[in-house]
């Protein structure tokens, strides 16, 4: 491939309104961010609890760096396994109410690592059609046979499970909160289907950790699901969204942790997370366990914004969470809508294929505990103004 070929492909993306570029933020991540020297209300961050610039997390990161240095210097199986890694894993397991937990550097690495470790070309995976790209890539790398079931459709899942003969392991994978639609998977029904068909269940709790449940433990707390001796249930989650830090975890039985330490390539062959990040994650979990004020504010803000948008006539799909998509349709209209919002001081990114199916382009808004009621009201006023200008409502 020549440079000219790359240039031609980029030109094609621009012509299809699928070209992406970076916007530089010159401020901390919060409800307001500075872009091009101007403050904008941020409606596209996963900083659900507003912890990414929290003083306690910053102090914990500084303290950890002062005590343990700036880097782990190696993978954990070489010399990078530090006291803070083990402490965060213990705290995470307690928080998720599982036997143990294992830290990964990113959610992408956690999903690809666990799927590739558990599945082989002799096995079969059942994946929700709207699962995250990291799950899709993990399925591909595993070389397992993959059946895609209709979104949140447990009857379709059961039909596919019943028709899968001659495979080794059966693995069901779903997000709990879907990152582009904001709806919630029917985890109890999926769990029952897994038990009926002797399948492993993997739940991606990335957007549920810190958001769902009485104190933010995630989908298991939200649904009141307890560990079942007859089911290998695995929870993946991240520290990088509601928890305001960085990294990811797998939570489940102790033997699963031991298995992944020996088999997960994305764990084995990467330098361990640095002390500052670990310190911030530990502090974050402590904050949300001790005080539910931020979580309550998050949900109050979420309900207020969603109802305002729906009242204006916007289609927010089946959102049940702080992820509130505003369906636009075409890529061209979605880009124009996002650009008009930006001109009015609102940063909300356009979501287009391949992230979402063609014809379902949207503005993916996310509300946080850090947003003020006044800023939310301003956003709804601008959405109404732009929506009418572009004849979306």
Q: Which position among 42, 117, 176, 179 bears the catalytic label?
A: 179
What distance in Å separates the CA atoms of residue 130 and residue 73, rounded to the nearest whole number?
37
Task: Read off the tokens for 15.
Answer: 């012509």
207 catalytic, yes or no?
yes
Strand partners, 350: 363
Q: Which residue among the candidates 241, 257, 266, 319 is catalytic per the annotation?
A: 241
Q: How far apart are alpha carbons 327 and 364 in whole angstroms?
A: 8
Say how far apart CA 383 and CA 392 lie, in whole Å. Answer: 10
179 is catalytic: yes
Annotated active-site residue 241? The verdict is yes
Catalytic residue of the set 207, 222, 257, 371: 207
H/E run at residue 287: helix 275-290
* Helical (H) or strand (E) element with 198: none
Q: 3-state class of 317 per DSSP? A: coil
| Pairwise CA distance, residues 121 & 17, whole Å | 37
Verify cis geometry, omega within 30 degrees of 0, for the bond prior to 354: yes
The alpha helices in 163-234, defined as continuous H runs, are 187-196, 219-223
> Within 13 Å and on the Cβ side, how many CA atoms surround 258?
4
Identify the sign of the CA torsion 177, 178, 184, 187: negative
Please choose, from the candidates 275, 245, 274, the residue with its C-alpha nearest in 3D space to the C-alpha of residue 64: 275
Element (DSSP H or E) covering residue 336: helix 331-343
Q: Which of 187, 278, 274, 269 is closest to 228 using CA atoms?
A: 187
The values of phi and psi at residue 130, to 5°, are -110, 20
Rounded-to-10 torsion of CA 209, 383, 390, 333: -20
Would you name the residues annotated as active-site residues? 179, 207, 241
């Amino acid at each position: 491939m020549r440079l000219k070929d790359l240039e031609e492909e980029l030109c094609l993306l621009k012509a299809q309104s699928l070209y992406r570029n970076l916007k530089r933020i010159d401020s901390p991540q919060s409800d307001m961010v500075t872009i091009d020297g101007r403050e904008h209300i941020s409606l596209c961050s996963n900083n659900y609890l507003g912890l990414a610039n929290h003083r306690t997390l910053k102090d914990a990161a500084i303290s950890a760096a002062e005590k343990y240095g700036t880097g782990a210097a190696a993978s954990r199986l070489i010399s990078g396994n530090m006291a803070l890694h083990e402490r965060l894993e213990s705290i995470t397991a307690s928080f998720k109410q599982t036997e143990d937990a294992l830290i990964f550097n990113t959610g992408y690495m956690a999903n690809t690592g666990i799927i590739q470790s558990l599945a082989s070309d002799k096995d079969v995976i059942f994946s929700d059609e709207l699962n995250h790209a990291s799950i899709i890539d993990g399925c591909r790398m595993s070389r397992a046979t993959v059946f895609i079931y209709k979104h949140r459709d447990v009857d379709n899942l059961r039909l596919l499970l019943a028709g899968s003969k001659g495979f080794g392991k059966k693995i069901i994978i779903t997000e709990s909160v879907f990152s582009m639609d904001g709806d919630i998977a029917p985890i109890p029904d999926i769990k029952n289907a897994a038990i009926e068909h002797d399948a492993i269940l993997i739940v991606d709790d990335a957007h549920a950790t810190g958001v769902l449940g009485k104190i933010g433990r995630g989908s298991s707390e939200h649904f009141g699901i307890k560990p079942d001796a007859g089911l290998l249930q695995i929870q993946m989650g991240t520290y990088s969204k509601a928890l305001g830090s960085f990294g990811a975890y797998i939570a489940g039985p102790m033997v699963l942790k031991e298995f992944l330490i020996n088999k997960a390539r994305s764990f084995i062959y990467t330098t361990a997370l640095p002390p500052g990040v670990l310190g911030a994650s530990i502090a974050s979990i402590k904050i949300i366990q001790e005080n539910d004020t931020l979580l309550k504010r998050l949900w109050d803000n979420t309900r207020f914004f969603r109802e305002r948008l729906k009242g204006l006539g916007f289609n927010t799909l089946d959102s049940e969470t702080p992820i509130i998509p505003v369906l636009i349709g075409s890529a061209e209209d979605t880009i124009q809508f996002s650009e008009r919002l930006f001109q009015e001081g609102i940063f909300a990114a356009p979501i287009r294929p391949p992230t979402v199916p063609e014809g379902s382009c949207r503005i993916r808004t996310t509300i946080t505990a850090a947003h003020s009621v006044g800023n939310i009201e301003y956003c709804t006023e601008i959405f109404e103004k732009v929506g009418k200008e572009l004849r979306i409502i």
